[in-house]
Amino acid sequence: MSALIIFGLFVLLMGTGMPISIALGLTVLTFVFTLTSIPVDIVAQKLFTGIEKFEIMAIPFFILAGNFLTHGGVARRLINFATSLIGHWHGGLGLAGVLACALFAAVSGSSPATVVAIGSIILPAMQAQGFPPRFGAGVVTTSGALGILIPPSIVMVMYAVATTGMQMTGPSGERVTSASIGQLFIAGVVPGLMLAFILGLTTWYRAWKNGYPRLPRASLAERWTAFRDSVWGLLLIVIVMGGIYAGMFTPTEAAAVAAVYAFIIAVFVYKDMSLKDVPRVLLSSASMSAMLLYIISNAALFSFLMTNENIPQAMTQWMVDLGLGPIGFLLVVNLLLLMAGNVMEPSSIVLIMAPILTPVAVRLGIDPLHFGIMIVVNMEVGMCHPPVGLNLYVASGITKMGISELTVAVMPWLLAMLVFLAIVTYIPAVSLFLPRLMGM
């Protein structure tokens, strides 16, 4: 009954058009004041302690690094490098867009930032070459989603923050720990590369079938020049991922290093950004970080209420008693998350759903690392379909196309992403192979 009241009130408040973060907070306050004896000062404490975790500091730093890279000329150089490698294949610029999105995703951690950085440069070039606008929009909108699957990823940080410290038990009653940021990052490598390949294959097939333009094959000298120009951006991948797994710094410290490095190459190496532009980038990053941190603090408050009412434990037992089994449970979770993606943005979904669903998954014998990657892939799909797909709105601003037209444009790639979601869901080795190989 408590769960029905809490979720019913939350849905009701959201239905009024209220921002999700405020709806979360008001749901908790209403329930606490009317149906519990929890002291009010506990609510204030939980709002602040919800964002006291060290791992959360990675979020504003990754956002800042992504903004420096977006405005600092890194995206243009990555596109040139990708074009020199595969631009001579069918749909050359489209394939280069997929590869450039994958490379930029490996340094930014944000899906909308990837769409803006790559799309604003490559889409005009594709139209000038004679590609249909819908083709280019479909490529960039869906490939930009790689920003939250290929590490580093802000959504992975959100999942780790939402599940850290949870008391979870496996099918035999053994204690199971939640997935760390470092584990999630390494688990996202193989799925990220696999999805990039699937999106690239879809792009190539449609280009080959429709006879879309190809670029002349680049010479070895041209490829070397493109690589040399982009190497400072590519080095960020080595610094962040290499530093984490070599034990030089934690993921949070890696985010800070990435922000400083991105600032240096944008202002002093590539010189595509002047010092007078830095305050604008800092303000934009602070605004986005404040929005996410406000959602996190209210989600932490919501999670506290759920735990206090023993709702996760009750839902876990209820799901186990239904006898769904891992296969049925994962199918239900996918449907639930895809439906949630119709009305909520990824950060809110992860922060609300992960603390509830992860203990159930663990109780059914599902690895929390595999489950986390599955949730991230669901968030990718959600960012590419209406009505609240962030990538659609970002791409709409670049292409000047309506959301309905963009929805039609992304459909072939979206179907490919759904096939990939099924693969990730039911073949755990896709997510767990690399972490196990590295002894994680």
The predicted-structure confidence for 115-143, as pLDDT tens digits, reads as follows 888 888 888 888 888 888 889 889 988 99
Q: What length is written for the chain?
A: 440
- Residue 388 predicted with pLDDT over 70: no
Question: What pTM does this model have?
Answer: 0.86
Q: Taking a C-beta distance cutoff of 8 angstroms, is the pair 373, 424 a contact?
A: yes
Question: Would you say residue 364 lies in a domain?
Answer: yes
Question: Would you say residue 240 lies in a domain?
Answer: yes
How many structural domains does the chain have?
A: 1
Question: Would you say residue 84 lies in a domain?
Answer: yes
Q: Taking a C-beta distance cutoff of 8 angstroms, is the pair 82, 104 a contact?
A: no
Question: Would you say residue 19 lies in a domain?
Answer: no
Question: Would you say residue 30 lies in a domain?
Answer: no
The label of the residue with tokens 């944000």 reads 110
- Residue 181 predicted with pLDDT over 90: no
- Residue 109 predicted with pLDDT over 80: no
Question: Would you say residue 25 lies in a domain?
Answer: no
Question: Would you say residue 218 lies in a domain?
Answer: yes
Q: Taking a C-beta distance cutoff of 8 angstroms, is the pair 351, 162 a contact?
A: yes
Q: Range with the lowest mean pLDDT among 245-249, 271-275, 310-314, 410-414? A: 310-314
Q: List the structure tokens of 40.
A: 């009010």
Q: What is the pLDDT of residue 98?
A: 92
The CA-based dihedral angle spanning residues 148, 55, 181, 260, taken in that order and rounded to the nearest 10 degrees: 60
**Residue range of the domain that includes 143:** 38-437
List, as one string, the DSSP characters of 236-274: HHIIIIIHHHTTSS-HHHHHHHHHHHHHHIIIIIS--S-
The CA-CA-CA angle for residues 364, 369, 370, to 5°, reads: 65
Query: What's 166's DSSP letter?
Result: -
**pLDDT one-digit tens code per residue, 403-424:** 788 888 889 999 999 999 999 9
**pLDDT one-digit tens code per residue, 345-367:** 788 888 888 888 888 888 888 99
Question: Would you say residue 256 lies in a domain?
Answer: yes
Report the distance separating Cα 111 and Cα 147, nearest Å.
4
- Residue 193 predicted with pLDDT over 90: yes
